[in-house]
Amino acid sequence: MNIFVFISVMSVNLLFADLKHKKNGGNFLRINPKIENVDLKNELESLKEEFLMQRNSIVEEFDNKIHSLKQERKEKIIQLKDEFLIRKEKIMDSYSTDRVKKTKLKKHTTTKSKIKDIKTKPK
């Protein structure tokens, strides 16, 4: 029984440790703490910092691209809804002779201010 608990605890630890390394970009730039050469440690530290800065800039760049694509998608969907609403109104008008009272559909309003609101919303 104790062996089973020990094995399950160790496997959970390994799973979480693996997730942590993947989230932070891996552990390939780990600096061995046993290195005694100060110049070498400084070089490795600067290399690691440079990597992290470039990695963060790439992540930030792609986050911005994703955000702009989401905004573009919202705008296109709004335009598509407007187009189909107009088409629906035309179809309804062609069959309106059967109805006594003609009801006008409310048009989906897309003003520039709404589109600006979409663009200015933070992530």
Per DSSP, the residues of the chain read -HHHHHHHHHHHHHHHHHHHHHHTT-STTPPPTT---HHHHHHHHHHHHHHHHHHHHHHHHHHHHHHHHHHHHHHHHHHHHHHHHHHHHHHHHHTGGG-SS--PPPPPP--HHHHHHHHHS--
pLDDT tens-digit map of 77-102: 999 999 999 999 999 988 876 554 54
Question: The whole model's pTM is what?
Answer: 0.50
Residue 27: the pLDDT is 80
Q: How confident is the model at residue 116 (pLDDT cuts 50, 70, 90)?
A: low
Distance in angstroms (rounded) separating the CA atoms of residues 113 and 123: 18
Q: Give me the number of domains the chain comprises.
A: 1
What's the pLDDT score for residue 95? 85
Phi, psi at residue 98, to the nearest 5°?
-75, -25
Would residue 7 count as lying in a domain? no
Mean per-residue pLDDT, 18-31: 66
> Is 8 domain-assigned?
no
Angstrom distance (rounded) from CA 30 to CA 51: 12
* CA–CA distance, 27 with 17 (Å, rounded to integer): 11
Does 75 reside within a domain? Answer: yes
86: containing domain: 33-120
20 falls within a domain:
no
Cα 68 from Cα 105, distance rounded (Å)? 32
Q: Is residue 81 part of a domain?
A: yes
User: How does pLDDT run across 1-11, given as a tens digit for each residue?
Assistant: 677 666 776 67
